[in-house]
Amino acid sequence: MSAQDTPATTTADSRPQPPARSGAASAIGWVLTIGLNVVAPIITYNQLSEHGWSDFSALLVSGAWPVLDSVISLAWRRKLDEFGIVALVFLVITAVVSLVGTHSPRALLIKDSGVTGLFGLLCLVTLFARRPLMFYFGRKFATDGTPASTAWWNGMWQFDGFRSTMRTMTVVWGVAYIAEALVRIGLAFVLSTSTMVIVSPIMIYGVLGGLALWTAWFSKRRAAEGARRQAAAEAAQAAAAARAEATTA
């Protein structure tokens, strides 16, 4: 590991432990992330659309909020984190997809599905990178951005179970979003536009909510499995030490 990846604290088995988190810093980070990446873009897009802006123009302007989040992150932490980079990539993908082809209601619905499908593809592509996408998403939400908490998260990468967990999550998110995009594209051809306007956001947030719940469950399950393996290893070491002491006695 590099100096940046050095864990904050370690136990006897060198497993890094999470440092005490700053509650205020964590709360501010969550408010900024959710507010600028989710709430503000939705409100901006809806308001501009209601005032006669084109879909593409409203979408492009609403995408300025994630850019602002990245700027604040850069000024606050003196670096642009991977979550901010992904937000910028999403903005570019959305703009490109919106420009391609016709601008009929059905085409717009299909393009919207294309964005989530491209995100799923991006997840799978990062499996071939040094670290998968969910590692960086996890670091964004599991830490408060301080050097100590970031170092703790980076230090976890040295463990096989942690690496396996991050890669499995990335596969599941990627496949789920590709499948969601394909289903929504299919529905756009068989359902009316008025129906799809209702169905589409339900699917988007339904899949996101389902993935979030699965991720929380899977993380706790893997953490529990790791704790059991660690306890078994420590018990085996203690038994071996006791046998060795009895032999030399």
Q: What is the pLDDT of residues 207-232, one digit of tens each?
A: 888 888 898 899 888 888 877 877 88
* pLDDT number for residue 43: 80
Task: Find all residues with CB under 8 Å of 114, minimum gap 6, and list them.
Answer: 97, 181, 185
Q: Concatenate the DSSP letters of all residues of 198-244 into one string.
A: HHHHHHHHHHHHHHHHHHHHHHHHHHHHHHHHHHHHHHHHHHHHHHH
Reported as a single tens digit per residue, the pLDDT across 233-249 is 778 888 877 777 777 76
Of 7-16, 184-193, 198-207, the least confident = 7-16
| pLDDT, mean of residues 194-207 | 78
Cα–Cα dist 203/207, whole Å: 6
* pLDDT number for residue 100: 63
Distance, CA of 2 to chain centre: 23
Q: 175: number of CA atoms within 13 Å, CB side?
A: 7
Reported as a single tens digit per residue, the pLDDT across 107-166 is 767 777 777 888 899 899 999 999 998 998 888 777 766 778 788 888 888 888 889 999
At 7, is the secondary structure helix, strand, or coil?
A: coil
Per-range mean pLDDT, top range of 63-67, 183-187, 232-236? 183-187
Handedness of CA 39, 44, 49, 55 (dihedral sign): negative
Q: Is the pLDDT of residue 3 over 60?
A: no
Using alpha carbons, select from 137, 36, 18, 39 the residue that is nearest to residue 81: 137
Of 42-46, 89-93, 178-182, the least confident = 89-93
Given a contact cutoff of 8 angstroms between Cβ atoms, the answer to whether 7 and 16 are in contact is: yes
* pLDDT number for residue 8: 41
* pLDDT number for residue 171: 96
Cα–Cα dist 114/178, whole Å: 9
Distance, CA of 58 to chain centre: 25
* pLDDT number for residue 182: 93
At 127, is the secondary structure helix, strand, or coil?
A: helix
